[in-house]
Amino acid sequence: MAGQPRFALTGSIACGKTTFVRFLKEAGVRVLDADDVVHELEAPGGAAVEAIAAQFGGAVRTADGGIDRKRLAQIVFCGDDAAAKRSRLENILFPLVRERLLAFDGVCVVPLLYECGWERDYDNVICLASSEEKQIERMVKTRGYTEEEAKARIAAQMLALVKMQRANISFLNDGSIEELRGHAWALAGHLVHTWHPLDGADFAERALTVAKDGSWSGAPLDWLGGAARSALVAYYINAIRLATSAEEREAINNRTRAIFSALLALPLGHDAADDIANWQGKVLRQIELMERKIQCGICDGRSNAGTF
């Protein structure tokens, strides 16, 4: 596909996608969940309400005019003709959902990506998977399913571990929430470099926030500092090249200096601190050199900017 790479996040039910997405957003990643789109389509006034009610009867409507999702689920996941009923529902919802996702500039969360055959819409597929035992355990403990209901919902989708094998990037979520948070931030750092380098400063500032508030436990703090440094350098290189005025360049330089100083104030190990200090020196020398060239009329502030 031409243009910016498209990313999709998939997985099966009860694999931790909601929590993973919360951590992606914490790191600054823009996310649109297909399930949220479905909720909008089935809410009062939603574009799919009339068609669903016509297909499955007025009993699936709520008093306020939306769709009773629990009642609808009981219809399409139960009985010998459950698969046929789900197919009718999917024929209503899927084209509307796909249209919204394709128009979104960010990570699209698509639980049924492979079942729908939509993987071709994306350059990169990220899979969050769990063992079936963990899925059932979560569904029984946190969602009120019986074990039989949980197994039926899992059986209606492609196995999570099969999706994991087909994806470009995979994470197994059978561990702690701290591990899951670390995976999400690692992915966000990767996306900054391959997708939106200009968001690198935002990523670094968000990393500083979670490092300072004492909540970070997803990976060693040295790793977080290094990821923030890497993202900051990517931001500086790209932002300074695109700057069109002296004021814009000054704002970029000041922001970069401030973030480097804040990173060095973190309680990092010797090697991590040295790495950040080394890159701080490179960037500051680049800023000083460019300012001298601008004063002498040698460059306009963009030519050869951000080369180290």
**192 domain-assigned:** no
pLDDT at 307: 57
> Per-residue pLDDT for 218 more than 70?
no
Cα 220 from Cα 205, distance rounded (Å): 17
Whether 167 and 203 map to the same domain: the answer is no
Q: Are 185 and 228 in contact (CB under 8 A)?
A: no
Q: Are 26 and 183 in contact (CB under 8 A)?
A: no
DSSP string for 101-159: HHT-SSEEE-TTHHHHTGGGG-SEEEEEE--HHHHHHHHHHHH---HHHHHHHHHTS--
Residues in the chain: 308
**CB contact set of 218 (below 8 Å; sequence gap of 6+):** 23, 178, 179, 180, 181, 182, 183, 184, 185, 224
pLDDT in tens, 27-59: 999 999 999 999 999 999 999 999 999 999 999
**42 domain-assigned:** yes
Cα 308 from Cα 128, distance rounded (Å): 37
pLDDT in tens, 108-134: 999 889 989 999 999 999 999 999 999
**25 domain-assigned:** yes
Whether 219 and 146 map to the same domain: the answer is no
**253 domain-assigned:** yes
Q: What is the distance in angstroms between the CA of the first residue and the CA of the last residue of the chain? A: 31
pLDDT in tens, 63-99: 999 999 999 999 998 899 999 999 999 999 999 999 9
**305 domain-assigned:** no
pLDDT at 34: 95
Whether 171 and 245 map to the same domain: the answer is no
| Phi, psi of 33, rounded to the nearest 5 degrees | -95, 130
Q: Are 180 and 172 in contact (CB under 8 A)?
A: no
Q: Render the burial of 159-194: b for 16+ CB within 10 Å, e for the rest.
A: ebeebbeebebbbbbeeeeebbbbbbbbbbbbbbee
**CB contact set of 91 (below 8 Å; sequence gap of 6+):** none
CA distances from 27 to 20, 105, 117, 226 (A): 11, 16, 29, 14
> Whole-prediction pTM value?
0.85
**226 domain-assigned:** yes
For residues 292 and 286, which has the higher predicted lDDT (pLDDT)? 286
Domain termination residue (choose one: 143, 177, 211): 177
Whether 250 and 289 map to the same domain: the answer is yes
**94 domain-assigned:** yes
Whether 152 and 236 map to the same domain: the answer is no
pLDDT at 2: 47
Residue 195's pLDDT band (cuts 50, 70, 90): confident
Per DSSP bridges, beta strands 107-109 and 7-11 are: parallel
Mean pLDDT score, 151-173? 91
Strand, helix or coil for residue 213: coil
Residue 165's pLDDT band (cuts 50, 70, 90): very high
Give how far the C-alpha of residue 108 lies from the chain's centroid of Cα atoms, to the nearest Å.
Answer: 8
DSSP string for 243-275: --SHHHHHHHHHHHHHHHHHHHTS---HHHHHH
pLDDT in tens, 20-32: 999 999 999 999 9
Cα 9 from Cα 277, distance rounded (Å): 35
Whether 69 and 161 map to the same domain: the answer is yes
Which DSSP letter does residue 67 get? B
Whether 101 and 218 map to the same domain: the answer is no
CB burial class (10 A; 0-12, 13-18, 19+) of residue 113?
buried
Domain that holds residue 279: 198-295
124 beta partners = 7
Whether 171 and 271 map to the same domain: the answer is no
Domain count, the chain: 2
Whether 106 and 255 map to the same domain: the answer is no
DSSP string for 176-188: -HHHHHHHHHHHH
Mean pLDDT score, 201-218? 90
pLDDT at 3: 64
Whether 121 and 257 map to the same domain: the answer is no
**286 domain-assigned:** yes
| Phi, psi of 136, rounded to the nearest 5 degrees | -65, -45
> Per-residue pLDDT for 303 more than 80?
no
